[in-house]
Amino acid sequence: MIIKHLVVTLLVSISLLGCTIATPFRTSDSGKDPDRLVLVALTHVVLDSDSPHKDLFWDYVFRIEGDLPKISGAIGHSIRKRLFADEGWTMSVWEDEASMNNFVRSGIHNEAVEKAGGALKLVEYARVKLPRSKIPPSWDEVERLLLEQNPKSAKSG
């Protein structure tokens, strides 16, 4: 009976290796002007599994996620992570490029890059303007956009 339980546990664990989990898309947007273009900023990261900064990286990601609703020009966001792996994605939606750039230059973002950036093995970015009515894009669309805008990474990875 114990062996059967171990085999089932192992098979379930193996089947989850490729699975991802995402936070719901959180938005403070009222949906006004559905045809207006907004900026969708996408990031894909693979962390160095040996980095002592791995956990700190995720601490910053979730801390920043909590602060995003208070940041001027932020419309919405979501985070996705591969289970049992050091890989993740972020999606943030902004009123415009200036709002996103103000965030990128902000204290919390700079602190995160300085203190936890050493955990990054690979980082890819993509930006796209979409009508408000089309946000959030699906995670399949996010992956497509990242591959499209980072073709060298797709070939080497």
Domains contained in the chain, CATH given: 19-156 (3.30.70.100)
**What does the angle CA 78 – CA 70 – CA 133 come to, to the nearest 5 degrees?**
50
Q: What is the pLDDT of residue 29?
A: 73
pLDDT tens for 54-109 read 999 999 999 999 999 999 999 999 999 998 899 999 999 999 999 999 999 999 99
Give the rounded percent of residues in the chain with a pLDDT score beyond 70: 85
Q: What is the pLDDT of residue 101?
A: 95
Q: What is the pLDDT of residue 146?
A: 96
Give the rounded percent of residues in the chain with a pLDDT score beyond 90: 75
pLDDT over threshold 60, residue 157: no
pLDDT over threshold 80, residue 3: no
Q: Is 49 exposed, middle or buried (0-12, 13-18, 19+ CB in 10 A)?
A: exposed
Query: Per the structure block, which two tokens stand in for 66?
Result: 């909590």
